[in-house]
Structures are given as C-alpha cells and as structure tokens.
Structure 1
Amino acid sequence: MVYFLLSLAGLVGGFIAGLTGIGTGFLMIVVIPLALQYMNMPDEEMVRFTIANTIFATMCSAFVNNLTMWRKKQVYPKDMLWVTVSAVISASLVLHFFVLREEYSKDTYNFIIIIFLAYIIFRTIYKLRKPFHYDEVQSKARLTITGITAGIVSSITGLGGGSIIIPMLNLWLKMDIKKAKSISFGAIFGIAFMLTILNLLNTPSSNIPYAHLGYILLPVAIPLSIGVIISSPLGTSLSDRLSSRTISIVFTIVISLVLLRKVFELWG
C-alpha cells in the first residue's frame, strides 16, 4: 500500500510539475515523511531523507519536462544558464554547510517552509489582482540573484527551486509565466542533479535500513520516479492549452494546500 501511494503521489506530483513548472517537491514534502514514518525513520534523520528523496523525484520530473520543452523548441538557453549555474553553486554550499548538519531539525524545516510558502502565496495573489502588462526586464544580475535564491531555497526545503524561480522571474523580471516555467525546468534539473550527487556521497549518521545509497532510499525513490516520468509530459501538454493566469491560479492553490498541511504538522 505504501508503494502504491508513493507511485500515486509521483503521478499527481509529476502532472502538477509539468503544468505549473514548480517541480514535484510541493507534494513530495507531504507524502515522503508519511512513508518514512512507516519505515520507522528516526526523527533526527527525517528532514535530510525527506529533502534528498524529494529532490531525486524532482530531478526525474525535470529531466522529462526539459525533453518536452526541447522538442517543442520552447527553450531560452542564455537565461537558463545564468539561473542554473548560480543556483547549483549556492545549493551545493548550503546543503554541505547547513542542511546536512544535525542541528537542522524537523520543526525548523517546517517553520521555514511555512514562512516561505506564505510569502509566495501573497505575492502571486497580489500579481493576479493587478493583471497589467509589463515589459520584461532583461538583467543578468537579476537572473543570477534569482538562481542564488533558488539554490538556497531548494537546499533547505527540497522544493527543487521552481517555487522561487517562477515567482521571481514573473514578478521581478516581469517575465511571462510560460517562459519562466521553461527556464525553471532547466534550473530545477541542474539543482536537483547536483544535490542528488551530494546526497549519494554523504552517509547518514544513523544505521538506516535500505540506505545503501547515501540519503537516497530506493523503496521511496523508485515508485515516485516512475510516477513523475509517466505524468510530467501530460501536465506540460495541458499547460500549452491554458492561459498564464489559469496556471498562476493552479500554482497558488497547490502551494496553499501544502502550506495548510505543514501548519498542521508544526502546530496541529
């Protein structure tokens, strides 16, 4: 039953990732802790295993979504490169010096998630209430800052980076959300690929069953990955038929549901 639910979560998460560009992390940070509790994961390792396996599933989803974008020729390599390189560097540093330390507890993790999601929801709703047209701001400095911020957020939350890349590109650089989504896919894959390598190379401090590949648990990662690989292209195809405003509304609804779940985990 647990493997079935993980596969189902992969299907739903992959579809949402393809539709909105935010990565599979929003659903995974809810589902993976439930699976880890069933596997009797020690609380002191819960956060690191949640982040590592969320990022692994996100990497698989982003890889498939990038292939879809390349086939449709909806890619922006220069903008994507600035965001991705800066994101990979900042994500790697934060993972090594902060996330993998034992002081990073489950409550701290949930509190950071709640604050971050609340801010994203506020900014997105604010933009939806002011549907004016803005000329896109072309700035390498802003693309780099976006990447650095996304890398930090991805490392400490496991959300893949799309949750910050899309709002920053859309709200700060005045970029259409569909273009922002394409750039997000490329950056998400770069971040998730590098963090997955680091998670494979690090060894948990506790003796955890099935943890033969660092912080990547195959009984968790495989069902999730199968699901996201199947459904991500379906979400990407549907997004081509929807308006940018509709995608923004779906984006906000998904984030709001995860926010409620994390509030319950922390204070429920």
Structure 2
Amino acid sequence: MEFLLYFIAGAGAGILSGLLGVGGGTVIVPMLVFIFTSLAFPEQHIMHIALGTSLATIIVTSISSARAHHRKQNVHWSVVRLIAPGIVIGTLLGAALASELDTTVLKCIFAVFMLLIATQMALNFTPAAHRQLPGKLGTASMGSLIGLIASLVGIGGGSLSVPFLIYCNFNARYAIGTSAAIGLPIAVAGATGFIITGLAEGNLPQYSLGYVYLPAFLGIALASMLTAPLGAYLAHRLPVAVLKKLFALLLYVVGLKMLWSLV
C-alpha cells in the first residue's frame, strides 16, 4: 500500500508537469509530508526527507524533459553552462541551510512559496521582457538564488527560472526548454546535499540514504516517467487555462492547510 501511494504521487506529478508545466515538487513534497506523517516518521526529519526525496525524483524527470526539449531544439545550452555553476553552489548551500532549520520552519517556507506560486498561476502573471541576460557574474548570482530557493522547497526551479529567462527576452518556448535542462543540476546538487547532510543524522527510517527515502524515490520516479508524456498529450486537448486556475486553487488549499497545521 505504501509503494502504491508513492506511485500515485509520481503519476499525478508527471501528468501535471506535462499538462501545466509546473514542477513536480509542488505535488510531491506535500504528498510525501502526508504519507511520512501517517507512517510515523520522526517528526523532526519529515520535511527534510520530503525535500531530499523530491529533489532526487526530479533528477529522473528532468533528464527525460531536457532530452525531449533538446530534440525540439528548445534548449539554449550556452545559457545552461553559464548558469549551472551558480545553480550548484546555491543549491548545495540551500541543502546545508535546510539541514540546520527546524521542520516547522521548512513547512512555513514551503507553504508561503506555494501561496505565491498559486497567485502567479491564478493571475497568469508573466514578466515583460525588459533586458538581456546579465553577464557571467549576474547570471551566476541569479542561478545561486534560484538554486537556494529550489533546494529549500524541493522543486526543480522552473517556477523561478522560466520567469527569469522570459524577463531576459527569451520567448516562452526557449525559456521552458532551457529551464528543463537547468532543473538537472538543481536536482543533482540538491539531492547530493540532502544525502550528505542526512548521513550525519541518526533516527532516520530504514531504507533511507541520508534524507532521501529510497522506496518513495523509486515509486515516484517510475510513475512520473510513465505519465509525463500523457500530460503533454492532454495539454493539447484540455482547457489548460481553466485547469491552471483549478490547480492554483489546490495550491492555495495545500499552502493554507500546511500553515494551519503549524498553529
């Protein structure tokens, strides 16, 4: 039954990723928190394990997504190479910072982030293109910020990197494709950071590799790989604008529920 729940979470994340272009972490993290709580995982580690496991699953989905966008020539690899060092540094710092934060603080950070993403989706806000991509230092600095936030909330960073690239005069197709490739260094560095910091902790569940819970990783990764193409297929046949608003409503509920649980 436990593995079935992970498979369902991964299937939902894959479909939503392909359908709405949202990161799987927005679905995976709250579902993992719910499952780990019901399994009586140590309360002080629940959010850390959810974040680390989410980032580990994104390694698999980002490879698949980046390959698909590469075949369609939607990835600016020169930009990926330019931003990747900052991404890796920021993501590793985020994982180290998360290991020092209480799970209550991490839940609060995640909940507030969900409310912000929900508002962006509900308003369908896209930044206007105002400038070109900054130089090496500016791009690396922005990459560090994206990586830091992505690591703290367990996502692939698309909700941050896509608006940044559009702001820098990328059209939406190239912004989404390049963001998909940027998700790989975020996921690899983030998962590595959570594994390393988790190895120093005791009282973790059996089958954990640091803060990555392997049964959840396997179930979610397998399911999301299978269902992401289905989401992309449905995107051409369903009213995506309406679905985005409905998903924004769901994110509001998840974010507010997580905040309420902290009261």
1:113 aligns with 2:106: no
Is 1:139–2:115 an aligned residue pair? no
- Equivalent in 184, 187, 202 of residue 206 of structure 1: 202
Give the structure-1-normalised TM-score.
0.83
Amino acid paired to 1:29: V
State the Cα distance separating 1:29 from its structure 2 match.
1.1
Q: Structure 1 residue 250: deviation in Å?
A: 4.8
| Gapped regions of structure 2 (runs ≥ 5) | none
TM-score by length of 2: 0.85
* Contact kept in structure 2, 1:30 and 1:258, CA below 8 Å: no
Unaligned runs of 5+ in 1: none
1:42 Cα deviation after fit: 0.8
Q: Is this contact kept in 2: 1:99–1:156, CA < 8 A? A: yes
Q: Distance in 1 between matches of 2:237 and 2:77?
A: 24
Q: Would you say 1:99 and 2:67 are equivalent positions?
A: no
Q: Aligned partners of 1:88, 1:234: CA distance in 2, in Å?
A: 31
Residues 147, 186 of structure 2: 8 Å contact kept: yes
Deviation at 1:30, TM superposition (A): 1.4
Whether 2:253 is the aligned partner of 1:257: answer no
User: Does the aligned pair in 1 maintain the 2:59–2:188 contact within 8 Å?
Assistant: yes
Is the contact made by 2:114 and 2:255 (CA closer than 8 Å) also made in structure 1?
Answer: no
2:51 alignment partner in structure 1: 51
1:16 corresponds to 2:10: no
State the AA in 1 paired with 2:99.
L
1:176 aligns with 2:171: yes
* Equivalent-residue separation in structure 1 for 2:134 and 2:244 (angstroms): 26
* Change beyond 3 A, Cα 1:20–1:4: same
Q: How many angstroms apart in 2 are the aligned matches of 1:167 and 1:255?
A: 17
Q: Determine the structure 1 residue equivalent to 2:192.
A: 197
Query: Which deviations, in whole Å up to 9, do the C-alpha atoms of 1:148-185 show, x marking residues without a partner?
Result: 22101111111221121123333x32533332211111
| Equivalent in 220, 233, 256 of residue 224 of structure 1 | 220
Evaluate the alpha carbon distance shift between residue 105 and residue 78 of structure 1 in structure 2; reply closer, same or farther with a 3 A threshold.
same
Root-mean-square deviation (CA, aligned residues, Å) is 2.8
